Structure 1
Amino acid sequence: MIQTHSKAFWRATLALCIGSVMVFSNLYITQPLLPQLVEVFDIDSLEATLSVSVATLCLGGALLLLGPLSDAYGRRVVIHTTLLLLCLTTFATAFVSDYHTLLVLRGLQGVFIAGLPAAAMAYMGEEFEPQGLLLAVGLYIGANSVGGV
């Protein structure tokens, strides 16, 4: 059990918050790039918005699957594995030459983004002592909001 206000508490809370900012930034990263996607891939603006929609839709579906997977295999395993796979798919998007491949990668990113939110709250509930849980969850939810901005 991680004790409130200990170094381990702040380290774990900070790691979860940074992860949250990063995954939600990743989810919405193509939104300000929509005009460039239209230009580079020679698509219309409506089609360009699929880069956000596909990732969001896959995130929603994956949340339903990754929660039970984190019950079966462990919260940390799901969080670490999905974050690693998210890094790899994000790196791969830099080398995409056609829009359909980008959409496939964005869908995979949505699936892997879901790993952290699916397991983080349960992880905190299991690992943090009750006195610090409210603070940790509040900071984590705040980080979710910052990542979406």
Structure 2
Amino acid sequence: MENDDLIQIGTAEYKRLATAMVMAGFATFSLLYSVQPLLPEFSTTFGISPENSSLAVSLATGPMAIGILAAGWLSDRIGRRTLMIYSLISAALFGTMAAIAPTWESLLLLRCLSGIALAGVPAVAMTYIAEEVEPATIGPAMGLYIAGSAFGGMIGRL
């Protein structure tokens, strides 16, 4: 992209990008940690120990960390924006299916798939910002993504 084509702060394009990045960060980490308040309920409902109930969080965060390695490669093939969109849609679908999972094992499988799907956002969000906005605007735009991520992680845990 030429510098003339880069998004500048204060424009409508920047406001859309900033809103999208805040919401992408928020959605990623709220989906990732949304089961944390449910861990005691999982123990009761599925008859498992509290330690085992924590797998609902771990089996999403671990695969997400591993998925980040492949997501960068995939974003070079299909595009960063496309990958982030499909990642969030897939994770939301897996999360919805996990809410009605009939067994502990099926819930864990869906949490694992959700973690893999979510990897597409943190893997490429900052690169996407760096490629789309003018250099002086990169810092504030990345700050908004990080703020959305932190807020999403906090809200997900509540």
TM-score bracket relative to the smaller structure: over 0.9
**Structure 1 stretches (4+) deviating beyond 6 angstroms?**
none
Q: Could you tell me which residue of structure 1 aligns to residue 33 of structure 2? A: 28
Contact 1:5 1:132 in 2 (8 A): no
Identity of aligned residues (%): 37
Shift, 1:148, TM fit: 1.3
Aligned ranges 1:71-82 → 2 under 5 Å: 71-82=76-87
Shift, 1:69, TM fit: 0.9
SS at 1:62's partner residue?
A: helix
Q: Could you tell me which residue of structure 2 aligns to residue 110 of structure 1? A: 115
Select the residue among 58, 61, 64 that pairs with 1:59. 64
Q: Distance in 2 between matches of 1:118 and 1:16?
A: 13
Paired AA for residue 98 in structure 1: T
Q: Extract unaligned runs of 5+ from structure 2.
A: 1-5
Contact 1:59 1:112 in 2 (8 A): yes
Paired AA for residue 97 in structure 2: A
Q: Distance in 2 between matches of 1:130 and 1:55?
A: 34
Given the two structures, how large is their TM-score scaled by the length of structure 2? 0.91
CA shift digits 1:53-72 (9 cap, x unpaired) = 01000110000000111122
Shift, 1:141, TM fit: 1.1
Paired AA for residue 106 in structure 1: R
Given the two structures, how large is their TM-score scaled by the length of structure 1? 0.96
1:3 paired with 2:8, answer yes
Q: Extract unaligned runs of 5+ from structure 1.
A: none
Alignment length (residue pairs): 149
